[in-house]
Chains A and B, each alone.
Chain A
Amino acid sequence: MLNYLYARCISAIIVILGVSTIVFLLIHIVPGDPVEVMLGEAAQLADREELRSALGLDQPLLQQWIKYMYQVLHLDLGTSLYSKREISSILAERIPATLVLACAGIIIAIVIALPMGILAAIRRGSPWDFYAMTFSMLGVSIPNFWMGPLLIIIFSIGLGWFPVSGNEGAGSLILPALTLGTALAALLSRMVRGSLLEVLNEDYIRAAQARGLSDMTVILRHGLPNAALPVITVLGMQLGSLLAGAVITETIFSWPGVGQLTIESIQNRDYPVVQACILLISLSYVAVNLLTDLTYAFLDPRVRLGK
């Protein structure tokens, strides 16, 4: 277990280094002169040179990289070109909103997907299974950027239950969280069903039945714990699409989170902020994946006790 922990953490650190490097390189793929793009063509030569040296773009690439990594390590993400504020303090304002939205989305997804997937697997081929899989198929196919407006048209404009946008009170959270949550629920319920069906085909399930255990015991004690293992891994991986979905969902609902900030900054050509947002979202994703892997390792005795 310790060996596994150690190896997994080291590999996470390497991935973090790689991710930071790619984020660092992002500014260099801007076609032409990034400084010119940021300031506009009409900018004075002196202003350009000032920004260039402020961003360190006049130094050799390797030196820039070392400086960037050093700053990231010290949580110094630079200043915004647009608002002239410290990027880290801008992010600090935005993070709680995104966190709330993501958590609400995950809770909705789990509450919907777990019972649905389990029921569909146990009653395979029944109407239940059919409805659950139809829901999941529809859910996977409806894009976030359409689900959001649909919900607004129905619940905000049509029924007037929730506000159209913004972050005022619990009511405004429901629609964006539903938008995020249903997409994840659709994926997750398929996963739960598939994984449980596969496990129910295993020899040890038949062996458990052959020793006279009740169906309930067989499913709860022998089926679910084994089916949960792959689901945990996939849940961790799917949180990535949830985070990316948050970018779009926040834009639709004007939810003042990191996602909205990303898009605003792209539109404002505020590249240092874009870099910081991408880095933050990616690193939290790496952290979540590390966490799910460690959970998996803890739950699976084959990994926990080593090979």
Chain B
Amino acid sequence: MSTLLEVENLKTWFGEGENAIRAVDGIDFKISQGETFVLLGESGCGKSITALSIMRLLPPAAKIKSGSVKLNGKNLFELPEYAMRDVRGGKIAMIFQEPQTSLNPVLTAGQQIGETLQCHKGLKGRAQRDRTIELLNAVGIPEAERRIDEYPHQFSGGMKQRIMIAIALAGEPELLIADEPTTALDVTIQAQILQLLEKLQQETGMAILFITHDLGVTSGIADHVAVMYAGKIVEINSRDAFFAAPQHEYSRHLFSALPSREKRNREMAESGKENKHLSDSPLLTVNDLKVHYPIRKGLFKKVVGYVRAVDGVTIEIRKGQTVAIVGESGSGKTTMGKGILQLIRPTDGGVLFDGRELTQITGEELRRKRSDIQIVFQDPYSSMNPRMMIADIVEEGMLAQGIGKNRGERMQRVDKLLEQVGLKPEHKYRYPHEFSGGQRQRICIARALAVEPKLIVCDEPTSALDVSVQSQILELLKELQERLGLAYLFITHNISVVEYIAHYVAVMYDGKIVEQGNVDEVLYQPRHPYTQKLLSAVPRIKTAGRR
């Protein structure tokens, strides 16, 4: 197969001279016609800037310092701007990570596809509309004749991404650049979009430059893989060769950071002990928990119905146990966590903790009781007050619960807690913005531990983190559980994290738990159709060696 796109010694920097941030620092790769080329890397490695450099759509602060991008042998960097416009959309099309914000809200789907058709194919009027409907059908949008005149807000996230793909197909490009196109989508939707891209590629013969951070996705679609790290490509290989034996140290590091069942079993075998804290009596019993939000309408805010965010959940957690709640966005899992903590008062049902019914107590008694259950959030940026020092953040709970006689005593405890989560005591005089995402999660864990809780609700604590950082945080959580006998209610959408960390799992859908049981049972012999669908959508790494 002949070469379609050739990138040579591309350097894209932010700023000038010594202080320049070398976002892309001399990379070379080739994409053949009709293949899927995956650019794999963690956040900030320069993969998106590479794509924008190819399109010549960089933000004003970024400059291409050197190199060339040749499409069919023609250097794109030498084209005048008007000729480049024919390339964009006509020869190279692009889809983005956020389908929610990538469509113009005041134009209909048909108008946005149509303008591309007019621009690159000169289609107008009837012909344009017919072709638009054809494209909508091709990307799998039902009732295309009707939905062509709908506005973006009337489509779901997955449908919006399909429209983006239809816009990209309109110019019949030779190369499609897909920049993390499924990252913002739920796993079942992700599977559909990936399938669609594969089908369209077979039909049109276009090449795809697929940018992702996900090894599982990569393994499913790639012909060739390039691993990017700190602005450089550290390894390029065919898919099979890459997954059979990654060459570069960083690539191997990515693999080793992946959580999985194998790893958990291996660790258990190594430590040679089953959870020593695990007891038989339940620590927390959630009984038919319901959280309903009233839908108010009209002038007097009359209640016209209820959003049943959590609709009758029953679950038990024992001391030292990790219970995972798995579900896609909107399934009610976060609301359930807040309902247990009494941050949102449940509409109905019971939350029995250590023999005390939490939904019945208020005021001072509830405030005291709060030390038993703590929470760690997903977003490491908004979960700490940016105006407070780490020392004050960790101390806050001790003040509230009256732990420690004076500031000195509490500061000693802060030092100890920081060490416990893998930070240094001198970190306590800094502010949150001075820390990385992973470090922030460690601080949040320290803050929770400060009041000596028995249960921590972990609400997607690793979802905003890169894979390599995620594995460190998961390890820390496991280690703390072993040492302190903590129980976790682990809320996540990531199945492999569940396999790695949980003892027991509940699958949540539409406010209800559709299936629960031990991890091995639920994940390997799923009974409920939704669980089956969810599990089959999870991208798995397929290697020549395994399976």
Residues A211 and B171 in contact in the complex (CB < 8 Å), given A203-B101, A301-B151: yes
Stretch of B92-100, B211-219, B528-536 at the chain-chain interface = B92-100
Residues A210 and B55 in contact in the complex (CB < 8 Å), given A202-B101, A204-B101: yes
Contacts of B101 in A (CB 8 A): 202-204
* Residues in A200-218 with C-beta less than 8 Å from chain B: 202-204, 206-214, 217
Residue picked from A10, A206, A299, A305, most chain B C-beta under 10 Å: A206
Contacts of B297 in A (CB 8 A): 3
Contacts of A94 in B (CB 8 A): none
Contact A203–B98 (Cβ < 8 Å)? yes
A300 at the interface (CB under 8 A from B): yes
Contact B88–A210 (Cβ < 8 Å)? yes
Q: With the chains together, A140 CA to B42 CA distance in Å?
A: 48
Minimum C-beta distance from B397 to chain A (A): 39
Contacts of B298 in A (CB 8 A): 6-7
B474 at the interface (CB under 8 A from A): no
Q: Which one of A6, A212, A301 lies within 8 Å of B86 (CB-CB)?
A: A212
Contact A213–B119 (Cβ < 8 Å)? yes
Minimum C-beta distance from A76 to chain B (A): 28
User: How many positions in chain B have a CB within 8 Å of any CB in the partner chain?
Assistant: 35
Query: Which residue on B lies nearest to A203, using beta carbons?
Result: B101
Contact B88–A221 (Cβ < 8 Å)? no
Q: With the chains together, A207 CA to B199 CA distance in Å?
A: 23
Contact B171–A212 (Cβ < 8 Å)? yes
Minimum C-beta distance from B296 to chain A (A): 11
B120 at the interface (CB under 8 A from A): yes
Contacts of A210 in B (CB 8 A): 55, 57, 88-89, 93-94
Residues A299 and B96 in contact in the complex (CB < 8 Å), given A10-B299, A212-B120: no
B343 at the interface (CB under 8 A from A): no
B332 at the interface (CB under 8 A from A): no
Residue picked from A207, A229, A302, most chain B C-beta under 10 Å: A207
Residues A212 and B116 in contact in the complex (CB < 8 Å), given A204-B103, A207-B96: yes
Q: With the chains together, A217 CA to B89 CA distance in Å?
A: 14
A222 at the interface (CB under 8 A from B): yes
Q: With the chains together, A287 CA to B55 CA distance in Å?
A: 49
B85 at the interface (CB under 8 A from A): yes
A233 at the interface (CB under 8 A from B): no
Residues A212 and B96 in contact in the complex (CB < 8 Å), given A204-B101, A300-B106: no
Contact A211–B89 (Cβ < 8 Å)? yes
Query: Which residue on B lies nearest to A211, using beta carbons?
Result: B89
B102 at the interface (CB under 8 A from A): yes
Contact A211–B93 (Cβ < 8 Å)? yes
A225 at the interface (CB under 8 A from B): yes
Contact B154–A209 (Cβ < 8 Å)? no
Minimum C-beta distance from A199 to chain B (A): 10
Q: With the chains together, A76 CA to B410 CA distance in Å?
A: 72
0 or 1 for each of A3-37: is its CB under 8 Å from B? (1 = yes): 10011001100100000000000000000000000
Contacts of A3 in B (CB 8 A): 297
Q: Which one of A10, A207, A307 lies within 8 Å of B164 (CB-CB)?
A: A207
0 or 1 for each of B161-178: is its CB under 8 Å from A? (1 = yes): 000100110110000000
* Residues in B110-163 with C-beta less than 8 Å from chain A: 115-116, 119-120, 151, 153-154
Minimum C-beta distance from A282 to chain B (A): 22
Query: Which residue on A lies nearest to B52, using beta carbons?
Result: A206
Q: With the chains together, A6 CA to B298 CA distance in Å?
A: 9
Contacts of B94 in A (CB 8 A): 207, 210
Q: Which one of B87, B103, B106, B107 lies within 8 Å of A212 (CB-CB)?
A: B87
Contact B151–A302 (Cβ < 8 Å)? yes
A165 at the interface (CB under 8 A from B): no
Query: Which residue on B lies nearest to A124, using beta carbons?
Result: B60
B404 at the interface (CB under 8 A from A): no
Contacts of A212 in B (CB 8 A): 85-90, 116, 119-120, 171
* Residues in A22-57 with C-beta less than 8 Å from chain B: none
Contact B89–A226 (Cβ < 8 Å)? no
Minimum C-beta distance from A179 to chain B (A): 35
* Residues in A223-239 with C-beta less than 8 Å from chain B: 225-226, 229
Query: Which residue on A lies nearest to B99, using beta carbons?
Result: A203
Contact B106–A213 (Cβ < 8 Å)? no
B43 at the interface (CB under 8 A from A): no
Contacts of A204 in B (CB 8 A): 101-105
Q: Which one of B89, B115, B151 lies within 8 Å of A305 (CB-CB)?
A: B151
Residues A299 and B106 in contact in the complex (CB < 8 Å), given A203-B98, A212-B171: yes
Q: With the chains together, A6 CA to B168 CA distance in Å?
A: 40
Contact A226–B88 (Cβ < 8 Å)? no
Query: Which residue on B lies nearest to A209, using beta carbons?
Result: B57
Contacts of B164 in A (CB 8 A): 207
Q: With the chains together, A36 CA to B161 CA distance in Å?
A: 73
Q: With the chains together, A217 CA to B90 CA distance in Å?
A: 16
Minimum C-beta distance from A128 to chain B (A): 17
Residue picked from B86, B87, B115, B168, most chain A C-beta under 10 Å: B115
Q: With the chains together, A14 CA to B168 CA distance in Å?
A: 49
Q: Which one of A7, A206, A209, A301 lies within 8 Å of B299 (CB-CB)?
A: A7
Contact B151–A226 (Cβ < 8 Å)? no
Q: With the chains together, A126 CA to B86 CA distance in Å?
A: 28
Contact B115–A221 (Cβ < 8 Å)? yes
0 or 1 for each of B301-344: is its CB under 8 Å from A? (1 = yes): 00000000000000000000000000000000000000000000
Query: Which residue on A lies nearest to B82, using beta carbons?
Result: A214
Contact B89–A206 (Cβ < 8 Å)? no
Q: With the chains together, A213 CA to B93 CA distance in Å?
A: 12
Residue picked from B104, B108, B170, B299, most chain A C-beta under 10 Å: B104
Q: With the chains together, A7 CA to B115 CA distance in Å?
A: 36
Contacts of B103 in A (CB 8 A): 204, 207
Contacts of B170 in A (CB 8 A): 211
Residue contacts A-B, CB under 8 angstroms, 27 given: A3-B297, A6-B298, A7-B299, A14-B299, A202-B101, A203-B96, A204-B105, A206-B57, A206-B102, A207-B167, A210-B88, A211-B167, A211-B168, A211-B170, A211-B171, A212-B87, A212-B89, A212-B116, A213-B85, A213-B116, A214-B85, A217-B115, A299-B106, A300-B106, A301-B108, A301-B151, A302-B105
The 4 closest A-B CB pairs, nearest first, are: A212-B89, A211-B89, A212-B88, A301-B151
Interface residues, chain B, CB within 8 Å of chain A?
Answer: 55, 57, 85-90, 93-94, 96, 98, 101-108, 115-116, 119-120, 151, 153-154, 164, 167-168, 170-171, 297-299
Known pairs A213-B119, A226-B104, A302-B105 / 18 extra A-B pairs, C-beta < 8 Å: A10-B299, A14-B299, A203-B101, A207-B102, A208-B104, A210-B88, A210-B93, A211-B115, A211-B167, A211-B168, A211-B171, A213-B85, A214-B85, A217-B119, A221-B115, A222-B104, A300-B106, A305-B154
